[in-house]
Amino acid sequence: MTAPETPDKLFIMQTRRAFLSTAGLLPLAAPRPARAAAAAGTVRAVVAADGSGDFQTIQRAIDHVLDRAPRAGAGAILDIRPGVYRERVKIPQDKRSVTLAGQDAASTVISYSMSAADAGGTFFSPVTEVNCGYFEARNISFENTFGVGSQAVAISVHSDRAVFRNCRFLGWQDTLYAAWGRHYYHGCYIAGHVDFIFGDAAAVFDQCEIHSRGSGYIAAHSRTTPAEPTGFVFRDCELTGAAGLLQPAPPKPGGAETPFPSKDSGKGVFLGRPWRSCARVVFLNCRMGAHIRPEGWDNWNNAANEKTAWFGELGSRGPGGDPAARVPWARALTRSAAAAFAPELFLKGRDRWNPVLE
């Protein structure tokens, strides 16, 4: 991942302020209802690519499902039937409590090919873009099939209290842009090559498989000050890949993924590097394959980042999990320090959110 272009400064200030307010660092402008309360006025609809549902495309459902809402501010649950939805999807900020519910992630796929070069920049390349709060997806695959040669985002998430369960994120470079807000990913599969999980969200990846398709970097966090309550936490995850040539597995029946060219991962994979100076990334009780480099962490060609980046581990195991081989500026966490990164604490905020219970 090259240093991505900077979005409009006003947008950054607005979105960062919204997140910090919910996280407890700024006064809340107004209380927000819990997800359960928002569900009281929820509208449901079926999306089916074969035309057997209420809508044939996901985007059309998002645009029009709330036309029938009983009241302003109602939420929506879209039941996505198996199929390959070859479209780009954008969920705008004025929607709320939107849920995309599939039956099986391997056969329920949102798929498109779009590179940063063709789109005009990394931030314009996402196949799926989530801008609303209280977003949830389960049993869905999000993929960008562009392949190698450019940043190509499968999904960008500008959302507070976003939850993904049993989802798949498939790409190569910059697969998952966890931009801002609090996110919880449980039982997901995330595949990529370079900086394929990046952004400035406070995100917990719980019992996920993180699959490296070639040599590169897993996480690129972008926290800019130590006061920000953000970071990426990988908890009880499986880091998979190969020490030699890496060839993606064939897609399961019904999947849309196009196999990428094999890449030499013999140089190995770093756990992360600081996209911005105060990046924070933590791995807790994760099993790491032999593709993980012994030193673990990279300073993005800037020794000054070694004084400000916050990279830590506890309980790493497997061929790539030797703590004694890590760079000296990484942190070996104690159990008491690691306890602060439990999802019910790290994502709590002033509204006491606990995604584990939802």
The catalytic residue among 195, 200, 206, 298 is 195
54 is catalytic: no
HEC readout, the chain: CCCCCCCCHHHHHHHHHHHHHHHCCCCCCCCCCCHHHHHHHCEEEEECCCCCCCECCHHHHHHHHHHHCCCCCCCEEEEECCEEECCCEEECCCCECEEEECCCCCCEEEEECCCHHHHCCHHHCCCEEECCECCEEECCEEEECCCCCCCCCCEEEECCCEEEECCEEECCECCEEEEECEEEEECCEEEEEEEEEEECCEEEEECCEEEEEEEEEEEEECCCCCCCCCEEEEECCEEECCCCEECCCCCCCCCCCCCCCCEECCCCEEEEEECCCCCEEEEECCEECCCECCCCECCCCCHHHHHCCEEEEECCECCCCCHHHCCCCCEECCHHHHHHHCHHHHCCCCCCCCHHHC
Mean pLDDT of 69-93: 91
| Whether residue 155 has pLDDT greater than 80 | yes
The catalytic residue among 160, 174, 206, 298 is 174
How many Å apart are CA 186 and CA 237, to the nearest integer?
10
Cβ neighbors of 59 (< 8 A, separation 6 or more) are 87, 88, 89, 90
Quote the pLDDT of residue 332. Answer: 97
Quote the pLDDT of residue 73. Answer: 72
Quote the pLDDT of residue 242. Answer: 59
More confident residue, 25 or 157: 157
Quote the pLDDT of residue 15. Answer: 43
More confident residue, 96 or 178: 178
Cβ distance 161 to 204 under 8 Å?
A: no
Quote the pLDDT of residue 86. Answer: 98
Domains with residue ranges and CATH for the chain:
9-357 (2.160.20.10)
Quote the pLDDT of residue 71. Answer: 73
Quote the pLDDT of residue 266. Answer: 53
Quote the pLDDT of residue 70. Answer: 66
Residue whose pair of structure tokens reads 């996280």 in the numeric block: 23
| Whether residue 291 has pLDDT greater than 50 | yes
Cβ distance 215 to 238 under 8 Å?
A: no
Mean pLDDT of 206-224: 96
Task: Report how far apart, in Å, the C-alpha atoms of 260 and of each of 109, 117, 314 are.
Answer: 17, 18, 33
Which percentage of the chain shows pLDDT scores above 90? 76
Which has the closest alpha carbon to 269: 221, 210, 222, 202?
A: 210
How many Å apart are CA 241 and CA 243, to the nearest integer?
7
Which has the closest alpha carbon to 222: 143, 123, 94, 117?
A: 123
Residue whose pair of structure tokens reads 């609090």 in the numeric block: 182
Quote the pLDDT of residue 344. Answer: 97
How many Å apart are CA 45 and CA 66, to the nearest integer?
10
pLDDT in tens, 19-64: 444 444 333 323 333 344 345 578 999 999 999 999 999 999 999 9
Quote the pLDDT of residue 358. Answer: 85
At residue 17 the predicted structure's pLDDT band, cuts being 50, 70 and 90, is very low
Q: Which two tokens stand for residue 14?
A: 């607005």
Quote the pLDDT of residue 253. Answer: 43
CA-only gyration radius of the chain, Å = 19
pLDDT in tens, 219-275: 999 999 999 999 999 999 999 995 453 444 444 444 444 444 444 445 799 999 999
How many other C-beta atoms can be found within 10 angstroms of the C-beta atom of residue 11? 11
Q: Which two tokens stand for residue 21?
A: 């307010």
264 is catalytic: no
Cβ distance 293 to 270 under 8 Å?
A: yes
At residue 74 the predicted structure's pLDDT band, cuts being 50, 70 and 90, is confident
pLDDT in tens, 118-141: 999 999 999 999 999 999 999 999
* Beta-bridge partner residues of 194: 173, 217
Mean pLDDT of 276-292: 97
Average pLDDT, whole number, for the chain?
Answer: 86
